[in-house]
Amino acid sequence: MIYSLSKEMLRKSDEQHMKGSLESCWILLSYSFRVWYSSPRRPFRQYRIMCTTVNTFPEKEREQGLVKQALCGITEQVQRICVQCGRGNDIPRLVAVSKTKPPSLIMEAYDAGHRHFGENYVQELVEKAAALPKDIRWHFIGHLQSNKVKRLLEIDNLWIVETVDRAEVADALERQCVKVGRSSFNIYLQVNTSNEETKSGCSAIQVVDLARHILETCPHFGSRF
């Protein structure tokens, strides 16, 4: 489920739902900030918190550091909500979704200390990874086809694939890990909890079998799923 929250709702923080085990957030450099987390009572819920629209800034204003300002503002909001919810310093990882954005915008966030960036398209990620600093931790967050796995795993600083939704993709990733000599690799399983045909992800019924298949046949994967 997706909730669009006003600034007032954000200030109140919807505390009773934010007390779950939150590991990772997405900051879309284009228009929004997404928080993915799993609550013990309401798993697989997603919050979208609207924030500064970075891509509407004129080029001159971008050069004046507004990406950094927006990033710092979002970080402060998340930290404040975590304190209000009793998480203290246990803040989620923020992932800046940089799809279709130029390297100059990514570098502004990088220069502000950010290292986790998400991309939707394999070719775009390959090109950006080759041109940008090697200590960036890339997240692949788009739909992944088995025939694109080889190119994807050629990226040394690919940190995680967040959209594994079927055994064929998991098997292709495992085979390529062996070929390129990766000792371990991070994945998330993508679950289509609403069963919408336009959405990617395995069904909630299939996810247990998919997880079991990976545990039994894919030893190079980390346990983040």
Give the per-residue pLDDT at 67. 87
pLDDT (0 to 100) of residue 56: 42
Single-letter residue type at 48: R
pLDDT averaged per 10 residues in sequence order, the chain, 225 residues: 33 46 52 36 35 43 71 89 86 90 93 95 97 97 94 95 95 94 90 89 94 94 63
What was the pLDDT predicted at 88? 83
pLDDT of residue 89: 81
pLDDT attached to residue 24: 55
Please report the pLDDT score of residue 113 as a whole number.
93
Note the pLDDT of residue 26.
58
Token digits of residue 152: 């994807």
pLDDT score at 65:
78
The predicted structure's pLDDT at residue 63: 52
pTM score: 0.74
- Please name every residue paired with 27 in a beta bridge, in sequence order, or none if there are none: 33, 96
